[in-house]
Structure 1
Amino acid sequence: MKYFWAAIILIVFSHCANQTSPAGGPQDKKPPELVSSNPANNQKNFTGKTIELTFDEYVKLKAPEEEVLISPSIGKEIKYTAKKNKIIVSTKGGWKENTTYSIAFRESIQDITESNPANNLRLAFSTGSTIDSLEIQGRISEIFKEEIPDKITVALYSSDTFNIFKHTPTYFTKANKKGKFSIKNLKPGKYFIYAFDDKNKNLLVESKSERFGFKKETIEIPSKDSVNVELAKVDARPLKITSFRSSDKISTMRLNKAITSIKINPYLRNDFIYYFGTKQDEVVFRNLKDEFSRDSLQLEVTVTDSLEVRKDTTVYLKFTNSKMSKEKFSVSFNSLNYDSDKKIITQSIRFNKLLSHINYDSVFVQIDSTDFQPIGNQDITLDTLNLTLQLTKKLEGEISTVKPMLYYGKGAFVSIEQDSSRTKTEPVRIPKSEQVGSLAIKVESKEPYYFIELIDRSNKVVLKLNKPKTHTFKNLEPGDYKIRITIDTNNNQRWDIGNYLLRIEPERVFTYKNFDGKTITPIRANWEVGPLVITF
């Protein structure tokens, strides 16, 4: 009897197994195809509240809130549903009258077997009697970076009173992985274009954390011109003083973001001195008196940020009788550079405390056992606001056959708290022609103001030139180099980030590319490269 029931069980399981598709076979690479839609593509006078898409196979949804782009925006009260081979899009408020809508589904709709996304699926329809059909194309990039920024929103604004931090755009899309974008089904008219990193997915620019870029001039649709938008990370928040922290010797003013300059009136040089803290979002006021005063000192302060936006405010400076623990004196030396053509050594140094004085008899260059060349006040440029020092020293005599050394003796630098620096020695490397290479450039440009920088593999500026027409970079260490060009619109010898409030774009920055589209120029020992022709 037990054999009878065993046979029955075997038959049952055999029938169950026969209902399952056999394993293996070719992988399904075919994406789902749209069979029909309501409304149909480019349909006019649509009055429904729900959109229904029918496919040739069962489908599913992947992150539709992020992947599906509906332009113009209808807000967040929208629901996406996958049901067998249908996708249903329903909105609570309905669609605005006499409006053309463009929907890009991107990779949101996929088949259920291999997650193949539907290819370039778009749907356009109108709730009025006409459908807008104009288009704008372009690409985005990021200043100072060669990589294409990912998931960047490109937006059009039709009003000239909009605020990118408060108002959502009229039309929008997202650039693809190659940085290209296209906004379709536009009305004729003039638009402002912005691109930004919409991390919060609210179609608003968050200036503290998001990159954004714009074009200062309006774009008139229709237009056959492609639009290039460059992004930069800008903190456009209004300047604000956030706190004061005081002791008997120091009072620190903190701001909500970094500043580039500060002016104080009245500046009582015998009472206090001021400088940037560890970052440029704090200003340190140093009490120069032996005793502290209980009275507050009223100061008129003007601070300026990177957008050249100024803030005038009144602060009350007051020191207290509390003691602050003494910080260790530190000196940071940047690399020592030598220009063999001009026989000039340069080095920048940063301190964590204000300097009281420099003992110049402890700073010198030893050429050989008999030749000691002193460093004097004329060789030093001191920046008390940034706590930095720039050394520029021209060496005398024959240098090519010796091995000079730069000496900072013990106590060469003394801080305002009377602690001193340690001994530091730096060899001056004299390059030999067979160990280095050169790079020649020729510039062809109608731009009146620009500067060119030679960048090494670590992204360090090797040399900066103002408006050169021809130049040869000599004594280059073997390695890979890039040439960066900045269009210096205001001729101030630095890159300016612009000002969106005044519709001033960031100054253009680009990297030289060869015929193969590569930005790297290799230099080897004893090589002479160029001239490279740079045209802009």
Structure 2
Amino acid sequence: MNLKNLVYFIAIILIISSCAKQSTPMGGPRDEDPPQLIESNPKGQSTEVKPASIELIFDEYIKLDNPTKGIVITPRIDKDKVTFTALKNKVIVELDQELEDSTTYVFNFQKSVIDISEENPAENLKLVFSTGKTIDSLSISGNINYLFQEKKIDYNNTIIGVYPLSDTTNLFNEQPYYLTRADSAGKFQVGNIKNGKYRLYAWNDINGSLKAENKSEEYDFLNDTLTIDHNIEGIQFNLAKSDLTPIRILRSGPFGQNYEIILNRDPAELKIQNDGLGQEYFYTIEDKRIRLFSKSIQTDSIPFQLSLLDSVGSQKDSLIFAKFNTSERKPEKVTQSVNSGKSFYKDLEIEIKFNKPIVDINTDSLYVQYDSAGIIPIEKSFISISDSSKRDLIKINLSLPDSISKEIITLKAADSTFQDIEGQYNLEPIAANYRKLKREGLADAISGKIEGAEPPFIVQLLDQKNQLIKESYIEKNQNYSFSLLQPGTFIIRIIEDTNGNKRWDPSNINSNRNAERVFYFTNEEGKKDIIIRGGWTLEDQNIQGIEKTGITNK
């Protein structure tokens, strides 16, 4: 075969090979239709049936997506004995248990049944039947709100649980008898409920256990028994975390020349009583740890009366006998943190937090510098101790004249400026910068009225990272204001301080007490952001209180 014929022969082979090559055919339009239920056994709305298994037939091949969590069955049955299977176009549910007499059952498949091709979920897929002669048809509905909305809320994780009054279980120890999940807007409805008396709860089911974790999950409850003999609307839940673990002392004992008390949680309030407290004895508290200090070695045990109160109102009173003996343990170094980076106008408040009580300050090496040559010495009259029993928080207050035009102001303290109770000095110099603002660059004010709630109020101005910028306490009226603000975007949060203790109190289900309400300024578009610029005054920024936990439509 000559070369010319060989080239023709190879070309023909390549053409034939190309024509014979397999390829994926071009498909038609994407399947966006969800699976449709065409038959079920038992049939929907059937009465006087007690199936051992349930079968659903669809118009296309399907599969199941996390059915154990996604399929909600009410009233409560033992889900450990339920088996879910998908086979071609069928879903089979094996119950393996006896259903209750005269009871309406609801199998809500939510988004657990999806088609094979595009994973479109079946819509509004629910099977209702009764083991008795009638279908229970009562319902309750309402809204979910989270008190502290620091991030976007996934309402779909929120479970509303209904427990018969005769049932001794609750949201912490057993799955509810009836339940549903809130929709993406925080609305919910529980249907097909039997006439009776119930208790209602709502919680953020993060771990998917269908039970609440009081240490890590937000929850709320209706504090009255709910008689369901008609359809009930307007139920309001306001969810927040509330750790019910009682506060207690885990252990106590000497720590070097000091004495340490370890708690299981931080107290909301702490009272320590001893005649020498603030003179001979001092204390610090941080990270569930109380440390007692003595100026001198003590040969006898010293009694201290402790009163601990946690955030939910649990109280623990103890008499501690502390020992302050000599020790070979080397004292800890002095450490401190300063509120550097703070902006101010005219009045500058500096805070220095130490790890131990400070007993002496050398003001000769403590000053504020505003340029290479200009300094303001810190006098003793500028300094205050936040708590004389602790002496671990030093505040320095000074007013800077307008003649100081420099923007950056620096606090400086040489080494050995601060001496603690153990005779230790700060080993390194301290330098902290502050930014002096100009009046013409500040916004004049934000003001408004708090409606739908009663004082006293804690009014908080937060930045976009939910960091506290300013706070005020209103005791007797409903008007709030913040003046001379740095331009920016803010959030205004209101805490309705019902008991007047100047802090937010969570719920206590054991005392049947709901959490204090927390709500925010929102604009006409429902957004929390409030923008203010230099020279602006924003008036009539009214804030509407949220509904209280309970039934709003009675």
TM-score range for the pair, normalised by the shorter chain length: 0.7 to 0.9
SS of the residue corresponding to residue 261 of structure 2 reads strand
Counterpart among 300, 305, 317 of residue 310 in structure 2: 305
Q: Is 1:474 the equivalent of 2:472?
A: no
- Structure 1: distance between partners of 2:96 and 2:391: 60
Q: Is 1:61 the equivalent of 2:69?
A: no
- Counterpart of 1:356, as a letter, is V
Indicate the residue corresponding to 1:36 in structure 2.
39
* 1:146-170, Cα deviation, whole Å (9 max, x unpaired): 5223512221223275443224322
Q: Is 1:521 the equivalent of 2:554?
A: no
Flag the 1:97–1:384 CA change in 2: closer, same or farther, 3 A.
Answer: farther
Contact 1:440 1:470 in 2 (8 A): no
By relative contact order (CA 8 Å, sep 6+), the higher-ranking structure is 2
TM-score by length of 2: 0.82
User: Unaligned 5+ residue runs, structure 1?
Assistant: 1-9
Identity %: 32
Contact 2:496 2:517 in 1 (8 A): yes
Q: Is 1:209 the equivalent of 2:209?
A: no
* 1:362-397, Cα deviation, whole Å (9 max, x unpaired): 55567998995754367513236776526363638x
* 1:281-326, Cα deviation, whole Å (9 max, x unpaired): 22223354436x5x86676643221112012346564567764344
* 1:142-196, Cα deviation, whole Å (9 max, x unpaired): 2221522351222122327544322432211222333332211112344332222
Q: Greater shift after overlay, 261-270 or 237-246?
A: 261-270
- Structure 1: distance between partners of 2:160 and 2:389: 40
Q: Is 1:191 the equivalent of 2:198?
A: yes
Q: Greater shift after overlay, 244-253 or 316-325?
A: 316-325
In the TM superposition, what is the alpha-carbon distance from 1:487 to its structure 2 partner?
1.2
Q: Greater shift after overlay, 400-409 or 321-330?
A: 400-409
Q: Greater shift after overlay, 197-206 or 364-373?
A: 364-373
Indicate the residue corresponding to 1:451 in structure 2.
458
SS of the residue corresponding to residue 286 of structure 1 reads strand
- Structure 2: distance between partners of 1:118 and 1:384: 66
SS of the residue corresponding to residue 510 of structure 2 reads coil
- Structure 2: distance between partners of 1:43 and 1:171: 19
- Structure 1: distance between partners of 2:390 and 2:135: 59
| Equivalent residue runs for 1:267-416 within 5 Å | 269=277, 273-277=282-286, 279=287, 281-290=288-297, 301-313=306-318, 317=322, 323-335=328-340, 340=345, 344-360=347-363, 362-363=365-366, 372=376, 374-376=378-380, 379-383=383-387, 388-389=392-393, 391=395, 393=397, 395=399, 398-399=401-402, 402-403=405-406, 405=409, 407-410=411-414, 411-416=416-421
Flag the 1:515–1:93 CA change in 2: closer, same or farther, 3 A.
Answer: same
- Structure 2: distance between partners of 1:500 and 1:332: 38
TM-score by length of 1: 0.84
- Structure 1: distance between partners of 2:126 and 2:413: 72
- Structure 2: distance between partners of 1:132 and 1:384: 66
- Structure 2: distance between partners of 1:298 and 1:441: 50
Matched length: 515
* 1:264-285, Cα deviation, whole Å (9 max, x unpaired): 56676488543213x1x22223
In the TM superposition, what is the alpha-carbon distance from 1:508 to its structure 2 partner?
0.9
User: Unaligned 5+ residue runs, structure 2?
Assistant: 1-15, 546-554
Flag the 1:345–1:83 CA change in 2: closer, same or farther, 3 A.
Answer: same
Contact 1:247 1:321 in 2 (8 A): no
Flag the 1:211–1:444 CA change in 2: closer, same or farther, 3 A.
Answer: closer
- Counterpart of 2:44, as a letter, is N
- Counterpart of 2:101, as a letter, is E
Indicate the residue corresponding to 1:4 in structure 2.
none
* CA RMSD between the two structures: 3.5
Contact 1:362 1:407 in 2 (8 A): no
Contact 1:191 1:220 in 2 (8 A): yes
Counterpart among 251, 255, 261 of residue 269 in structure 2: 261
Q: Greater shift after overlay, 324-333 or 66-75?
A: 324-333
Indicate the residue corresponding to 1:418 in structure 2.
423
Contact 1:441 1:534 in 2 (8 A): no
Contact 2:281 2:389 in 1 (8 A): no
Q: Greater shift after overlay, 245-254 or 384-393?
A: 384-393
Q: Is 1:488 the equivalent of 2:497?
A: yes
Contact 2:297 2:324 in 1 (8 A): no
Flag the 1:42–1:266 CA change in 2: closer, same or farther, 3 A.
Answer: farther
- Structure 1: distance between partners of 2:203 and 2:325: 46
- Structure 2: distance between partners of 1:400 and 1:457: 33
Flag the 1:148–1:228 CA change in 2: closer, same or farther, 3 A.
Answer: farther
Flag the 1:392–1:415 CA change in 2: closer, same or farther, 3 A.
Answer: closer
In the TM superposition, what is the alpha-carbon distance from 1:85 to its structure 2 partner?
1.4
- Structure 2: distance between partners of 1:299 and 1:423: 36
- Structure 2: distance between partners of 1:246 and 1:149: 47
Contact 2:253 2:322 in 1 (8 A): no
In the TM superposition, what is the alpha-carbon distance from 1:205 to its structure 2 partner?
2.2
Indicate the residue corresponding to 2:551 in structure 1.
none
